[in-house]
Structure 1
Amino acid sequence: MTTEVAIAILYQKGKFLMQLRDNNPDIAYPGHWGLFGGHIELGETPEVAVQREILEEIGYTLPSTFSKFGCYPDERAVRHVFWAPLTVELNQLVLNEGWDMSLITPEDIRLGVSYSAVSTDVRPLGSVHQRILLDFMERHDKLFHGSIVHLHS
């Protein structure tokens, strides 16, 4: 049976909220930056799962305008990807899961690495998370040139 997860691209002022995953060798992408989200429970839709996971992991309620971005299946999992603006400041979030969280620039996404103040070093992005964000940036190019304040119409 394939693992199904629901994850969210959360953006604010042209940057992306990412989680530095715990440095635990028993999880996927240990010590790497990734998108917030998690496993879809039995009987749950991906839409319900992403809302639950984001609330559990950072105490953030997704805005009602969140949208599906796409689906990324590979040998590890089927990732249902959603996107929404982050409408609160970073200091209003509570990190309940993971090692660190940060708003990461498109430049860091392209480079595939970002500094963590908690780990005090540069950490890699999970390859699938980097690919998803590169796809997102390509499709929503204007977001990163200051032309669009809010993507949902």
Structure 2
Amino acid sequence: MTKNRLKEMLTVICVSYTIISLGTTLYDRLFYDGRDDFSSLLFKFICTTIAVSILYTHPLLERLSPLSMIVLQYVGAMLLVFLTIWISSFFEELHENSYFGAFSSFTIIYIIGAIAYYVGLHIDVRKQNRLLEEIQTSQNNSIR
């Protein structure tokens, strides 16, 4: 991974974590009068890091069909989230619906993030294709 790509990924992790934390905190305050404790904030950060890191593996999986790549990335991310929950169960008591809650919460946020990521990727590819066409056109015109 290049230095610029790593910087971009870290920026996306930070921005995504901020949006997710603010959004879920606001939602909890409006509807449940809940408060985030440190372990909840840490879990959100870990899940955000997992999701962004998994989405950034797409160049390694380009040989697969797009659907296979997306499903494999989601399954891998979900397994890492479940592993995180399992590890955290050694340090604190978990609610009996912890896995289902994490599954539903993570899936919703992951789908939104994946859509944003792949739409952005599609826009970048289209932009690069237009630049390539412009270069080819200018080279053909200069040859004549």
Please tell me the TM-score bracket, short chain as reference: under 0.3
> Which protein is richer in strand relative to its size?
1
Higher relative contact order (CA 8 A, sep 6+): 1
Could you say which structure has the larger radius of gyration?
2
**Could you state the TM-score of these two structures normalised by the residue count of structure 1?**
0.23
**Could you state the TM-score of these two structures normalised by the residue count of structure 2?**
0.24
> Which protein is richer in helix relative to its size?
2
